[in-house]
Amino acid sequence: MPKMKTKSAAKKRFRVRPGGTVKRAQAFKRHILTKKTTKTKRQLRGATLVHETDLQRVADMLPGYGL
């Protein structure tokens, strides 16, 4: 059997942490920032975790990462 390939897009967007949780960047922080309030932009700073309902989807894209 051939090896399963990791999705390159997922590899760039997610980091698997030692406890099995997955870190991701916040959405809506890349462009069209002039119409967003300072409060909104401030709250979008930093990373957050992938929700538990989406973990299986991410795990399917990252075989071999221990998810």
Residue 3 inside a domain? The answer is: no
Rounded Cα distance between 3 and 1, Å, is 6
Rounded Cα distance between 55 and 34, Å, is 33
CA-based nearest residue to 49, from 22, 19, 18: 22
Q: What pLDDT is recorded for position 48?
A: 97
26: CATH: 4.10.410.60
Q: What pLDDT is recorded for position 36?
A: 97
Q: What pLDDT is recorded for position 9?
A: 96
Domain count, the chain: 1
Q: What pLDDT is recorded for position 1?
A: 85
pTM: 0.82
Write the DSSP string, the chain.
-PPPPPPHHHHHHEEE-TTS-EEEEPSS-SS--TTS-HHHHHHT-SEEEPPTTTHHHHHHHSTTS--
- Work out the pLDDT band at 66, boundaries 50, 70, 90: confident
The domain containing residue 17 runs over which residues?
Answer: 8-61
- 21-57: per-residue pLDDT in tens? 999 999 999 999 999 999 999 999 999 999 999 999 9
